[in-house]
């Protein structure tokens, strides 16, 4: 993934992506993983909310998908 920032001089950063096995993790594990890359708690909460709202991450309850409502 390449991120570019439109500042006076365009800078390009390479973001290292980790390969992970598709396994079930807890919501706490997701929050911990996101917070290790975030600058603040607000950024962590916004990122987790976006992941849930976009469907990139799904929640399971007893093996059944449940809808996450983000307020």
Residue 6 lies in a domain: no
In a domain, 26, yes or no: no
Instruction: Average the pLDDT over each of 2-11, 14-23, 60-69 and give the range with the smallest value.
Output: 2-11
Which pLDDT does position 26 carry in this prediction? 86
DSSP 19: P
What is the span of the domain harbouring residue 68?
Answer: 32-71
Residue 71 lies in a domain: yes
- In-domain check, residue 38: yes
Please report, for residues 21, 23, 26, 49, 66, the alpha-carbon distance to residue 57 in angstroms, rounded to integers and kept in the order given. Answer: 14, 12, 11, 10, 11
CA dihedral sign, ordered 53, 57, 61, 66: positive
**Is there a domain that residue 58 lies in?**
yes
- 52 in a domain, yes or no? yes
Domain total in the chain: 1
pLDDT digits (tens, 9 = 90+) for 17-52: 666 666 778 889 999 999 999 999 999 999 999 998
């Amino acid at each position: 993934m390449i991120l570019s920032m439109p500042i006076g001089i365009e800078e390009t950063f390479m973001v290292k992506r980790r390969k992970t096995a598709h396994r079930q993790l807890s919501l706490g594990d997701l929050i911990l993983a996101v917070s290790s890359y975030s600058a603040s708690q607000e950024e962590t909460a916004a990122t987790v909310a976006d992941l849930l709202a976009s469907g990139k991450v799904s929640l399971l309850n007893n093996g059944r998908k449940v809808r996450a409502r983000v307020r």
